[in-house]
Structure 1
Amino acid sequence: MIRKANISDLDSIMGIIKSTVEEMKGYNNTQWDENYPSDKDFISDIEKQDLYVEEVDGKIAGFICINYDEPKEYIDLNWSSNYKAMVVHRMAVNPSFRKMGIASRLVNFAEELAKENNVSYLKSDTYSINSKMNSLLIKCGFIKIGEMSFLGKEKSFYCYDKIL
C-alpha cells in the first residue's frame, strides 16, 4: 500500500538511506552520501506532503518524493514539452524488498498522482553512474532528454521526462 509518509516513518526512511548509501559506495556512486539526503530533507518533504511510502507487512519497503519543484539547472535543457510537470525526486527501495517491483510501483504511483492532479508530464534526473535508477526510468518509459551539472558532482546527471 502506498500512502503519504508521516514523521513516524523517518527512522525507517533514514535506515533505507544508510543502506542505500553503503550500496552506492560499492559501485563508486556518490550521488548520495552521509550529508545528502538528510533527515531535514525528508522532514521537509513530509511537512509539504510530498513524500510517499510503500508499506509491505507493516514495514517501509520504499519511498518516493513527488512535487512540482524543478531545480534551476532544468531551465537550459531541451525538454519534450512545456507542460506543467510533476518531478520525481528522492526515491529508494529497502534492500530487504528488492526484486519485488516496488520501484516500478512507486513510479507508476507518480504517474497516477500526476493524472489525478491534471498533470500529464513527469520529469526526473539521476546521477549518470546510478545504473539502477537510469535503468528503472527507461524501463518505465521515460526518455533521456539531456544532461546537466548538478550538486557540484564530478559527473553529469541524466535528465528524463515522460508525457503521460
Structure 2
Amino acid sequence: MIIKANLNCISQIMDIINDTVEEMKSYNNTQWDENYPKDKDFIKDIEGGDLYVYKEEDKIRGFVCINYMEPVEYDDLNWSKDEKCMVIHRMAVNSRFRNKGIGTKLMNFAEEVAMKNGVNYLKTDTYSMNTKMNSLFKKCNYKLVGQMDFMGKEKPFNCYEKML
C-alpha cells in the first residue's frame, strides 16, 4: 500500500538511500552520493505532505516525492505545455525488492495524485547515467523532452513529461 510518509519513515528511507548510492556507484552513476539526498531533504518533503512510501509487511519498499516544484533548470527546455504540472522527485525502490513492479506502482500513483489534484501533466528528470530510472520512465510512457545540466554533475540529466 502507498501512504503518506511521516517522520518515523526517515530511518528506513535513509537505509534505502545508502544502499542505492552504493549500487549507483557500481555502474558509474553519481546522481546520488553522500551529500544528496540527505534526511533533511526527506523531512522537508514530509513537512510539505509530498512524500509517499510503498509499504508491505510494515516495511518501506520504496518511496516517491510528488509536488509542484520545478527546478529552474527546466525553464530552458522545450516542454509540450506551458501549464500547471506536478513533478516527480527523489524516487527509489529497495534493491532487495526490485523487479516486482514497485517502481511502476509508484509512477502510477504519481499519476493518480496529479489527477486527484486536477493536474493532467507530469514532469520528471533523472541523471543520464541512471539507466534504471531512464528505463522506468520510458516503460511508463514518459516522453524525453531534452537534457539539462543539474547539480554540478559531469553528465546531463534527461527530462521527461507525460500527459494524462
TM band (smaller chain): over 0.9
- Once residues 60 and 96 of structure 2 are traced to their aligned partners in structure 1, the CA distance between those partners, rounded to angstroms, is 10
Aligned to 1:52: 52
Counterpart AA for 2:141: G
Aligned to 1:95: 95
Q: What displacement does 1:96 show?
A: 1.7
- Once residues 85 and 40 of structure 1 are traced to their aligned partners in structure 2, the CA distance between those partners, rounded to angstroms, is 25
2:76 partner SS: coil
Q: Does the 8 Å CA contact 1:147/1:157 hold for their aligned counterparts?
A: yes
Aligned length: 164
Aligned to 2:75: 75
Q: Does the 8 Å CA contact 1:123/1:161 hold for their aligned counterparts?
A: yes
- Once residues 128 and 41 of structure 2 are traced to their aligned partners in structure 1, the CA distance between those partners, rounded to angstroms, is 22
Aligned to 1:40: 40
- Once residues 105 and 83 of structure 2 are traced to their aligned partners in structure 1, the CA distance between those partners, rounded to angstroms, is 24
Aligned to 1:108: 108
1:75 partner SS: helix
Aligned to 1:8: 8
State percent identity of aligned pairs: 63
Q: Does the 8 Å CA contact 1:86/1:123 hold for their aligned counterparts?
A: yes
Deviations 1:59-91 (A, max 9, x none): 000000000000000001000111210000000
Q: What displacement does 1:97 show?
A: 1.1
Deviations 1:109-128 (A, max 9, x none): 00000000000000000000
Q: Does the 8 Å CA contact 1:83/1:120 hold for their aligned counterparts?
A: no
Q: Which runs of 5+ in 2 are unaligned?
A: none
Q: Which runs of 5+ in 1 are unaligned?
A: none
Aligned to 2:66: 66
Aligned to 1:149: 149
Tell me the TM-score normalized by structure 2.
Answer: 0.99
- After the TM superposition, which parts of structure 1 deviate over 2 Å for at least 4 consecutive aligned residues? none
2:151 partner SS: coil
Deviations 1:105-161 (A, max 9, x none): 000000000000000000000000100000000100100000000000000000000
- Once residues 72 and 63 of structure 1 are traced to their aligned partners in structure 2, the CA distance between those partners, rounded to angstroms, is 24
- Superposed CA RMSD: 0.4
Q: What displacement does 1:93 show?
A: 0.2
- Once residues 114 and 94 of structure 2 are traced to their aligned partners in structure 1, the CA distance between those partners, rounded to angstroms, is 24
2:36 partner SS: coil
Q: What displacement does 1:99 show?
A: 1.0
- Once residues 152 and 52 of structure 1 are traced to their aligned partners in structure 2, the CA distance between those partners, rounded to angstroms, is 27
Aligned to 2:24: 24
